[in-house]
A and B are shown apart, each in its own frame.
Chain A
Amino acid sequence: MNSIQLIYLIPLLPFVGFLINGLARNALSKSLVSIIGSGVIFLSFLLSVVVFLNVRDEGFIPQVISYFEFINAGKIKVDFAFQIDQLSSLFLLIITGVSFLIHVYSTSYMKEETAPHFARYFSYLNLFVFSMLLLVLGANYVIMFLGWEGVGLCSYLLIGYWFKNTSYNNAAKKAFIMNRIGDLGFLLGIFWMINAFGTVSFTDLFNPQTGIINSISSNSSTLVGITLLLFAGAIGKSAQIPLYTWLPDAMAGPTPVSALIHAATMVTAGIYMIARSNLMYTLAPTTMMVVAIVGLSTAILAATIALKQNDIKKVLAYSTVSQLGYMFLGLGVGAYTGAVFHVMTHAFFKALLFLGAGSVIHAMGGELDIRKMGGLSKHMRITYITFFIGCIAIAGIPPFSGFFSKDEILAGAFAKNPVLYVIGLGGALLTAFYMFRLLAMTFMGKFRGTEEQLHHVHESPSAITITLIILAFLSIVGGLVGIPEYLMSGGHRLAEFLNPIFAQSNNILIKNEIPHQTEILLTVVSTILIILISGWAWKKYKNYQTETAEETGFAKVLQNKWYVDELYDAIIVRPLKSLSVFLNNVIERSGIDGLVNGVGRGINYGSRQIRLLQSGQVGAYILMMVIGTIVLFIIQMFAK
């Protein structure tokens, strides 16, 4: 049996789960909801594994399965079609795998919710997985956009899951609006594409033999325009400068949601989109440069902000923004495999870190401030060890997964321009610093919370710890699929696997091959630096005591996130608000209202006058009729 025929089930199952949990939320018990919610994802995961193995063994060319005609208007024809190839099958695996673990985790984490809300939560999660799978499986940009919008919606719904809290609702709205700004760019990109190429299908555009892109000259303005607009979409979805501020606020949602949507899967949609359109980007070097610069500056900016945050989830959120910046750097310098590799490893260790943070928050009874934690390693062994593994992985210490993927991106940056490498390495050092600061402040030293909290601290239930252990295991070994060439010939299994997707781009890109010695030297230097910095941060914050002193100078700027939110507030939000107030008071009240009321008043006055003609005297009516007839006669006579 050909498993490819069954791929429609992969997104369909979560959708069915969404319908059941969503519609019957008042009837189903919590355990039933958990089983349905996690079960459908597990089935999807199994199918994804089958599909993945199939793709790996056959190594086939992209296979497109069209289900029905979606749009047919004029010269544009869009099918509702799924495309299975190496890239989408890999993403299927990541998405369904991590989602399944997070569903299992959620069954325990959310168990204090009432049954209808519990079911609502799971239905949103299922809907999210459905949208994400649609995004990944879509065989053209329009289907991708459907999924793209779907994940944005689910993100909004889940950030605002506790809808009774106004600030959570505002965070949800902020995320949605920021995403919409990016989506506008994506949409315009699609329109331009339809106008320029007459198609949005990946096969029509990127096919090595017949693809339309092949005949477009490199760096043509059309290509640069389209890629920049699509990148604007990616900026919104993947939280890059200047639209990144929604992601830290998105931490208002439940912690598993942060892990799933705002760390592991949805925010990587932008990376997926660019990896999918890699040929188009390769042919537009200007855009590549923009992507690399935006990615790198986001990586650095977010890392500096993370240094001074005290909210455990905020630190992780900024680290996510920063890691996404790395992925874009990888894409921008043409290290597509490295970027996709980093998506994969990041999904493992960032999900692990978030879920670990969730476990801590759970134990601390909802406390988020790491200044009030400390010493938790004694009480939560498993959480502590897995969190430690996650920190090592994200910091990039070998042989954990983050090392391999980050190293590959940095090597790509070095090949492009050593300056990019140096700045990127600086970001990696910052990452190591703030992660170990977070780790030390949370788990080491003396407990700084209240007595009551200390009494309450406990290791989390098994649904949580088992998930953490699995993710920790993946964070350790996940990097081994991409061992660099200089360590083991043919060790980069992932690059081999993804080769058909990126082969064309790799042929076009002019790669400065760096000698293996240089590469080894760079790796050794960076590793030593990272370990030193980690050790320093560890030592510095191991015995952290609560400081009451206000931060000053530069530290204060960092703590206030470079005042970016305030800046946006001053230059965009407040002028818009005053404009709205002006429009409301002046244009609306006196202009439009005056016009509308004026028409009403005029008609009222006119009818009052005309009413006098109706005298009730039949004679008068007849007289008017006669006059009218005579007038008509006269007109008739002179009109000829």
Chain B
Amino acid sequence: MEIKWYIFLSVALFCIGIIGALTRRNAIIVFMCIELMLNSVNLLLVAFSKMHMHGMGAVFPQYATDAQLFVFFIMVVAAAEVSVGLAIIVMMYRNTHSIDINFLNRLKN
């Protein structure tokens, strides 16, 4: 399959993620959208890695799988972030009985 399809899919996922994060007020959905963006990037990394496997990778085999390694790093970081973020959301719900992010606007002005 050509690389462009992967890119289209990835960009589409990223845009959905951004639009979701910008428009939705539910904290959990915003969170899911952020995950979506992270994973669209992961997808792109894997796709490019696969593409380069035959070009660059043939010359420098030691770099051939670097991008795929990064994907794991991102996943680990995302997992850690999710645990912290969800904890925050839980605390937020306990305090305000709401998970509407626009509710927390006391830092304004």
A residues lining the B interface (CB < 8 Å) = 611-612, 614-619, 622-623, 626
Contact = CB atoms under 8 A, between A and B. Distances in A.
Contact of B22 (A612, A614, A616, A622): A622
Interface stretch (B43-51, B55-63, B76-84, B99-107): B99-107
B23 A614 contact: no
A619 B109 contact: no
B109 A612 contact: yes
A611 B109 CA distance: 5
A619 B107 contact: no
A612 to B, nearest CB: 7
A619 B23 CA distance: 7
Interface string B89-109: 000000000000110111111
Given A616-B109, A618-B102, A619-B23, 4 more contacts: A614-B108, A615-B108, A616-B106, A616-B108
B101 A618 contact: yes
Contacts of B22: 619, 622-623, 626
A618 B105 CA distance: 8
Q: Which 6 A-B pairs have the closest CB atoms?
A: A616-B108, A616-B105, A616-B107, A618-B101, A615-B108, A623-B22
B21 A622 contact: yes
B25 interface: yes
Contacts of A611: 109
B11 interface: no
A618 B100 CA distance: 11
B7 interface: no
By secondary structure, the A interface counts as helix
A617 B102 contact: yes
Contact of B102 (A612, A619, A622, A626): A619
Contacts of B109: 611-612, 614, 616
B108 A626 contact: no
A617 B101 CA distance: 7
B40 to A, nearest CB: 15
B18 interface: yes
19 contacts: A611-B109, A614-B107, A614-B108, A614-B109, A615-B105, A616-B104, A616-B106, A616-B109, A617-B102, A617-B105, A618-B101, A618-B102, A618-B104, A619-B22, A619-B23, A619-B101, A619-B102, A622-B22, A626-B18
A501 to B, nearest CB: 83
A626 to B, nearest CB: 6
A570 to B, nearest CB: 62
Nearest to B102: A617
Contacts of B108: 614-617
A334 to B, nearest CB: 86
Interface in B1-50: 18, 21-23, 25
Contacts of A617: 101-102, 105, 108
A626 B37 CA distance: 13
Contacts of A618: 101-102, 104
Contacts of A619: 21-23, 25, 101-102
Contacts of A626: 18, 22
Nearest to A612: B109
A604 to B, nearest CB: 15
A494 B21 CA distance: 105
Contacts of A615: 105, 108
Nearest to A608: B109
A611 B108 CA distance: 8
Nearest to B19: A626
B84 to A, nearest CB: 16
Interface centre among A612, A614, A619 (most CB of B within 10 A): A619
A446 B18 CA distance: 114
A605 to B, nearest CB: 16
Contacts of B106: 616
Contacts of B23: 619
A538 B109 CA distance: 94
Contacts of B18: 626
B73 to A, nearest CB: 22
A325 B97 CA distance: 100
Nearest to B24: A619
Contacts of A614: 107-109
A440 B19 CA distance: 112
A614 to B, nearest CB: 6
A219 to B, nearest CB: 79
Contacts of B104: 616, 618
A614 B21 CA distance: 18
Interface in B61-76: none
A611 B104 CA distance: 18
B3 to A, nearest CB: 20
Contacts of A623: 22
